[in-house]
Structure 1
Amino acid sequence: MPQSFTAFALALTAVSMLGCSNSMNTAHNLDYSHDGAHVSYQDSDDVYQQRFVYDINAAGIAPKGQLNVWAEKLVNELVLQNDALRPDQPLVVATPVFTDDFNRTSELSLQLQQSLMTAFHAHEFNVVDLNVSNTLRATENGELMLSRDWQQLPSDLPVSHILVSTINLTPEGVNFNGRVVNITNNRVVSAVQSFVAGKSLSGYVLPANKVHTQGSLIYRTENTKESRYTVLGDAQ
């Protein structure tokens, strides 16, 4: 009788182990969906390990637009031309201004500034964000930390270099000139100049119109080739 009970117990144990082997592997907790297809994570031995394997090609990265790619190319050349700035030195990216008015910016300038900061950080430079305020503000519009109010921003940041830049709208597109400057002596440590055709920034600039404004004056021309591109959202 004891022998029969032992044999039954062994058979029950074998069935239980077989059922466990068919259950979902712990590694399957890392499965995900990509472009509608199911992607399964498994290591070489099909055994869960305490090591997270991340396939950047399978998982993908954030999509980029025209302006992001342009900013990356600008920063690539600035890094190439750099002759003094070290990655550990604090760097500020200022908002690009118009060549004919250093107090005027645009939606294009503001977005380009953000993209330039990201591109510099990708090169592992010590980028400083001046728009991070001293306090977190809980408002009806959300929890806000960024600000353009100088009274809410820190005034003692240890900044040594700054990227200053200008843009100029032409009948064909947008000119860009940028310089990384040492603020202690105004020495230019890197510079870049670039031109982008307006049609390459279709989401940010508009083609020239017969009627356009420049400053406080209104201009009309039958030849649109003599008119400049305008930034999307600016007064026409």
Structure 2
Amino acid sequence: MFPKINDHVYIQIASEIEKENKQEYKSRIAEMEDDSILMEVPIPVEGGKMKKLYMGDELSMYFVNDEGVKHYFNTYVLGYKSDNIQLVRIRRPELDSITKVQRRNFLRVIAELEVAVRTEKNVRFIALTEDVGGGGISFYVDPTYKLNEEELLHCWVLLPYKNGTIEHVPIETEIVRMKKLETGRNLVMLKFRNIADIERQKLIRYCFERQFDFRNR
């Protein structure tokens, strides 16, 4: 079942920062469209200022039906609509993806992609990603490149689509965590600090193509 107009929904936003990842927000369904849902701008459950959402943000959501059962689904932000109040447009989930079991697997896919990296000190190198998503990426790097948490990196991710086209997506990122691997390499986990909406949509498109491939294996 889908949420209904005027139903309240509860939201968590994908983030590499644990504190942000656990923050819960609430909103209200305003309109239902064929392929999307419009909801009010969310606010923290505990109260506070409205939370600005960005195109491509990945959301884990639930609503409660008339019997008091929670129904969970994952989605992402498509854009906005200005009515009497501003509304947020999110992707309408497939009916069979709505579950009574909570799942926090945001739209991030395993993918070995080439990424060109430039540090703030103008050090440049090429790395391979472990995964990519609408809100962040992870890549492997040789430990000879000295990187630190909270450091800003400029990245260009190469995206090969199924139709044969290739896109280079520029992103300003921030290192949120690093992990030393048994192979000797470092796994660098990044969140997006600055990315154009059109570039984020290119990443989302690539992720959905990858998800479709996985489902059909």
TM-score normalised according to structure 2 size: 0.23
Larger strand percent: 2
Which of 1 and 2 has greater Rg?
Answer: 1
Larger helix percent: 1
TM-score normalised according to structure 1 size: 0.22
